[in-house]
Structure 1
Amino acid sequence: MPEQPIKVLLVEDNPGDVRLLQEFLWDVTTAQFELMPVERLDRTLKLLNQESFDVILLDLSLPDSQGLETFITLHRQAPAIPIIVLTGLDDENLALRAMQEGAQDYLVKGQVSGDLLVRCMRYAIERQRIEEALRQSEERFRVALKNSPIVVFNQDKELRYTWVYNTSPGFINEEILGKRDLDLTAAADAQLVFDIKQRVLSTGIGIRKEVSITTAQGIRYFDLTVEPLRNEAQEVIGVTCASIDISDRKLAEEKIREQAALLDVTTDAIFVRDLDNRVILWNKGAENLYGWLVQEAYGKKVVELLYDDEPPEEVEIALLTVINQGKWQGELPRVTKSGKKVLVSSRWSLVCQEDGTPKSILTVDTDITEKKQLETQLFRAQRLESIGTLASGIAHDLNNILTPILAVSQLLPLKFPNIYSEHEHLLEILEDSARRGADLVKQVLSFARGVEGKRMTLQVKHLIREVVKIIKQTFPRSIEVCIDVAPDLWTVYGDSTQLHQVLMNLCVNARDAMPDGGSLTISAENLLIDENYARMNLDAKVGPYTVVTVADTGVGIPREIVERIFEPFFTTKELGKGTGLGLSTVIGIVKSHGGFVNVYSEVGRGTQFKVYLPAAQKIQIESTPQLEPLAGKEELILVVDDEPAIQEITRASLETHNYKTLVASDGIEAIALYAQNRDKISAVLMDIMLPSLDGLTAIRTLQKINPSVKIVATSGLASSSKLAQASTTNISGFISKPYTVKELLLTLQKVLNG
């Protein structure tokens, strides 16, 4: 396709000059240019309204217009068409002024050649196109900035505004130009941005910084970028800046920080993991519950933090449920950093992106370990009560059945005196079996409802002496029997036969737990249970108790069956060597006396049964001299125990009585706290059984740090072996769990003043 000719509008009133220019163009080419001459300006303006041209050759001296005004009028009419000014030798200054007003170039008449004319017109056209493209680009840039939150501006070396695009609300370009920041903002804000810009001017290095400015709309936040503005010689002549209002983002970040603070206030463990199960959020509650700090937990897989090995099947079910249904809740076992097992009520929620694509899983865990322990005690009591009701009904029916059998077995020899001797033996077997059945029923009734007998005020130490006398005569010599009875032991109101049976059953069980011999200790002491103690034991009530302890050094009871040992017919003995009614009878009798039983056992180390019997109400407890605990003198006590409930109760008790406390959950933490505060700590209350580092090792370590440290040891299993080990550590005192506030305070008082 042939190239379109360039249309040239020649505005010239001199026919000779017109003819000359036509010849120049004709000599160069006839196909590239189409020349149209015009003699007057008014005719030119009319023609421009009718046709379009690529370039204009303009003589500034016309019949109807003279000088620079000729160019200005024409340029105003056709600003997009490049104009080349034609001038004489004496009018070159006029041509230069025209170029300052927007002319593309000028030619001096008499010095024009064909090539020069063509090159000049082509250059003018190309330059005009470039300028137009630049204008369009600048316009697009201006529109883009106008519709964006960015403010772009230049300032000179005196930091006066010289150019501004898309100014912030409340400011107009004309109002800002020539002014400085001090003229527009508060002095403190102006000084801040002045220092930033002045540093760029002096160093020539750009800076990006977030700043806050007080405006008519209040405090606003800006992301400010300042770069040096240079001339062609690369000299710094000012600064060029870009500022974007980030106030909304800052407010959103502040809201997020507030929400994060609220997450840290809650006692629940809250964490978020991505779909690869890696932690991306871990709140303070999670740190407190599981022991992992946020920097330790971040990026780790949940199974690495909360389980020793493979997670239970419930975790996989929960994960599938939350992915498919968006939420899940239930109870899950967890393991803390220290290895402690906890039970949590866990709620999972699926977090999705705006398009509905799953992004992460939010988990909220509530520690229900202590609650479950109390529920277990309650359910056990209810279960035993239900079994007792059932057993009572069965025993009643069995008595009705056994009564005639026993009577007949005794009546038959009288009715048939001449019966053969071998038949007499059968009758004896029948009678013996009936009696054994009747005894079994009595045991069931003892468990079920305590079988009321003759009750009176009793001194338990007399019962203990009777039982010890029997077992010393009947138990193997390999079993050493020891007694430790308080001289001022309170009396109880009860049935001596039934309480005798309780002691014998416990001693027989202790004997069976020590087939290779060992130590059997029976002790009795007074205990005044207060509200603090009652909170630690569901069956306890406030008041005076006589406590009888039967402890052995036998094989111990596995943890998984401790909760079942009081159930009737449950036994771990070989077939034919136990009915499973011994301990159920014990619990039935003790409960019928208004008391309760606690058991502490450690496999391979022995078992300890504590029988709590209410002291007789007519006993004048006050008549027995009792030391009253004194308030502390703000001494600092380091409490070391791995049970949160014990920590809380002990700390509250001590602080109520004017002591200060530090709390540690294991031996390692206790050593660290003591090392940091050894000059402040007056005494240490140390549980013997601790995770990570056991109490006895921790005690020895503390004594190496400070040989004169005062330590009170505590334990829920006061087995002979543990007490023997504790005695070798030169501890200052010992109290067994659960302890009363009075016991705790008196022990500390004795240790601190000793």
Structure 2
Amino acid sequence: MSEPLRVLLIGISPGNLGEMLRECGRDVELIRCERSENGLAAVSGGGIDVVLLDLDLAGGRGAAVFDRLRGVAPDVPVIVLTAAGEDPAALRAMQNGAQDYLVKGKTDAELLCRAIRYALERKQVEAALRNSETMYRRLVENLNEGVLAVDEAGLITFANPAMEEILGCSAERLVGSPVAGFFDAPGPEGTASKNPFCRETEERLEFELDLLHGDGGCVHALVVTSPVTDESGRFRGSIAGVMDITERKRAEEELRVRNEHLMVLNQVIGVTAASLSLAGLLEESLEKTLELMRLDVGVVYMLDSERKRALLQHQKGMPESALTRNRLIKVHHWPFNFIFIAGQPRYIEQQADLNTIEASILRELEVSALACIPLVAESVVVGAVYAGSRTKTSFSRDERELLETIGQEIGSGILKGMLHKKLEAANREANLYLDIMTHDIKNAENVSNLYTDLLLEILEGEAALYARKIRSSIHRSAEILGNVTTIRRIHHDSPDAGPVDLDAVIREEVAAFPDVAIEFAGGTLARVWADDLLPEVFTNLIRNAVKFGGQDVRIAIRVEDYDGESVLVSVEDTGPGIPDPMKESIFHRFERGWVGGYGDGLDLFIVRALVERYGGAIRVEDRVEGRPDLGTAFRFTLHEVLSAGEDEDDDSLDGEECD
């Protein structure tokens, strides 16, 4: 606003225009061009902020000049001047992009300045909306999955570049073509009788479909369609996500021929599917694995509720002398932390450089090779299965793959047994990506559209506020997309924890918020079991504190020893606090809190998911006990990486005696 406002007048000045412009509250440079050619040349040279166009140019050429003006400088706001309030030329100009019109002789300084100010603000809003549309279009155009839009008649109305590649056809050819023309009959059930892209249903439809490729081949695709309706709720077509799964299907077919391993795996799967109890599942799956793979010793451990110890649940072939010492394992001691904390399989095999601890494990179990496979349920390690041989000195690559696959199947069975009452929620997790896209991002778009409509209709001082709200909504959409990426990794990537420098992570996150008062003394030497998503915990907690406490909020981060095996991290703020009834629900996905409070979506859901992914626990408390209005404290534990030297004080190498 320090630069002068450059206003170009094309036509004859209506009275004391210069004096009226001086009332606009800032320096104004008025450029007068009575000839339209001179005015067009001036605006095409750039630097013009607003154009005042006199529609009463000689010969009635005002409308033609307006059209040329929009072609030369489409981004410069134009206010037309007319001699009469009901001038058809003024109405036409408004319909074709003019920001406002003023009646000469009836315009005062206040009206003129307000029209100029609103014209500039509307142009800024239009530019922001164009940027938003460009962002979402780029998102769709750069997806690896195909996106297809079909109207109620079954005609394709849009196809992104990935869809062009899947079908081997250009978008020009696809748009306007019937989608059924790309089906490779008979297609999914019901295709022959009704086009699945035109099915009027309130729910999304998921199916597999063979599609014809432009080169004459066939593409096997996974299709997810969602209905599109107009404002009255009438069905107008569908939008579909299309994924080429041809290669995946080919790989599945190749795996099918591996008869021996499939036989083992199928029988274990049968056990996990048929077992009605956790104990039965563990016992039957372990015995079936040992029998079919011709192994001699098997042990199944499950973590206790505190995730500090693993308890023996079932064993077969273990020597009596080893039973007492191996009923309980401290999972944070090496090498068991690799299995129970990091979630990584470990193979202990006879070799020249075998360390003394692992050699003693083989000796105690009387085996020459031992496979230790973590059992993972919903990305969380819940236990492990040990399988050993007295005749093998090592496991082949195929045997390792099979054992790990069996571990995954047992983990899936455990999850089924433990979370049967949450089956509906578990099914929804498989569609988490779609939930977020249709929920949060749609909400953000709706908010943006709402404030844009208000801004276009209400020409009052609140227009700047609405513009800021639009920008805030678009920023929120970007945060949601970031959350989508994080959640997808949490639910789809296997845990691959390793030692992480906690002090460095916190310092980096503090530096990322230079405008926020964050206190962190630092100096902690703790290394914790985590992965590269650990910074997201601190990002979301700090961002949540700022979101509800404002830029003046003060934040303190502390790290202290918890129980000798874990550290306790506290993130405290001076924000509005959280009432006791809300302290549990704020961690739930899509949970809304209260006006001015925490818990408005995914941030805290992600925090809890990551902490639990690392084997820790999180809780929320009042920063000052009994005074929720004085701020909030989030406290969570992380397992500390213990060196081999810290384990030597234990009398047992891999466990302790348990009555």
- TM-score normalised by length of structure 1: 0.37
Bigger Cα Rg: 1
Q: TM-score w.r.t. structure 2 length? A: 0.41
